[in-house]
Structure 1
């Protein structure tokens, strides 16, 4: 059971908590963390979502997308999710906050209304060292950033629809 804080439409905690499945069913606002991992060759780590997950089954996604649990800080959720989903351990100073995106997505009757805190991690990772969390992650890949950017625009149906976030990260990486 994963309890999440229910937020209002401005991102303020309401004092209520719900299970993840209820939040998605009811369309409640909640907080999430997204981490983009880019190595020194400018390849982005992407993951293919599992067929067992409730939203966007078998879609390609950013390096990491996870929920902030009730009472948890965003940074702590990012560290926890990196370790749980991908077996990647990072120091506090390695994660760089990029900002926040308000996102509302719908997939097969589930509503994912999130305030997404976005982080960047420059780290060389070996695919063979990643121990994917089977229930959530089906596959991981390293893709040259320019190729990833091209695919997002030319073949968006393969990816979780996060265009505002993709553009925010592309702008950050270009600066």
Structure 2
């Protein structure tokens, strides 16, 4: 889905300009997104398999919920909206814990240059897994896996054909933050 987003400079500062997401990707303009990682007190992490029709990383496993921040939209408001859209869960902004910003710059093709600043949050999953409702157009599958499994499969990038390649440092930051809360 195309949407209007804010354009940033290479340092992540807003430029005052907006563009459609497709235009930003075509031109490699910097923009923001949210990543929300859900975990359980039992030490599990919710992962999402991206839909087959996605422009980038189709059918790879990824962050619980992710999406672009709408133009003029508050970061936390965007995160709450994306959670509702992608997994059908209503959360409060206060339940989100921001753990950092990750710079993700990738040229997927000559006409798809994704230069994003990912605002990363963690959030305890407060409902049973079977109450989640995946957005069919965005999400192929959801599953809970042990934190240790995700660590083993992503830190050394042992499963490069299974997960989106955010890099070992990204996964270490997320998994360390979740482990501290258990």
- Same fold flag (TM > 0.5): yes
Question: Number of paired residues?
Answer: 175
Alignment RMSD (CA, Å): 1.4
Normalising by structure 2, we get a TM-score of 0.90
Q: Distance in 2 between matches of 1:26 and 1:58?
A: 25
| Correspondence for 1:22 | 23
Three-state SS of the structure 1 residue aligned to 2:161 is: helix
List gaps (5 residues or longer) in structure 1.
none
Match of 1:113 among 91, 112, 115: 115
Q: Distance in 1 between matches of 2:106 and 2:122?
A: 22
Query: Are 2:91 and 1:90 aligned?
Result: yes
List gaps (5 residues or longer) in structure 2.
none
| Correspondence for 2:170 | 165
Correspondences of 1:13-162 after superposition (within 5 Å) = 13-109=14-110, 110-152=112-154, 153=156, 154-162=158-166
Q: Distance in 2 between matches of 1:156 and 1:2?
A: 30
Asked if structure 1 preserves the Cα contact closer than 8 Å seen for 2:77 and 2:93, the reply is no
1:107-161 CA-partner distances (Å, limit 9, x unpaired): 3442211111111101244333221111111110100010111111321221111
Asked if structure 2 preserves the Cα contact closer than 8 Å seen for 1:9 and 1:29, the reply is yes
Q: Distance in 1 between matches of 2:57 and 2:107?
A: 9
